[in-house]
Amino acid sequence: MTPGSTNLAFPAAVAGSADTAVFLLRRPGLFRSAPGRAVGSVAFLAMWITLATRTAHEGGGKPTPATVALSGAAFAGSVAMLAIHLRNRVATPRVFLGTALGGVALADCIRRAQR
């Protein structure tokens, strides 16, 4: 990381990873009761972990187009999840947090890509 540069995408991705992992750990029965939801959550966890790894590796430098696309996918997935929860009237602070984290990661990647 260069002096004065920041990488907000990394802590956002780590927080997204932790939140998704805790969600899965607290609901071990989800794999039996709602396997599709469980697999989707595992895929989302893999996406967050990949984003955290990529942003850590890139530091505060210019992200690769793949990292920008991955952050966009994390944000889009979070927005979709928020919409589904709002439609079903089961939105909790977690889904708003996930969307905010995805937005921070995407905004930071775009900001750093434009340097």
Give the up-direction half-sphere exposure of residue 9: CA atoms within 13 A in the CB hemisphere.
35
How many Cβ atoms are within 10 Å of 108's Cβ, its own excluded? Answer: 23
Rounded to two decimals, the pTM is 0.91
How many Cβ atoms are within 10 Å of 29's Cβ, its own excluded? Answer: 8
- What per-residue confidence (pLDDT) applies to 1? 47
DSSP code of 64? P
Proportion of the chain above pLDDT 90, given as a percent: 91
Contact 55, 9 (CB under 8 A): yes
Span 50-56, average pLDDT: 97
State how far the Cα of 106 lies from the Cα of 84, in Å rounded to an integer.
21
Please provide the average confidence, as pLDDT, over all residues in the chain.
94
- What per-residue confidence (pLDDT) applies to 115? 84
Per residue in 2-47, pLDDT (tens digit) is: 545 689 999 999 999 999 999 999 999 999 999 999 999 999 999 9
Contact 12, 108 (CB under 8 A): yes
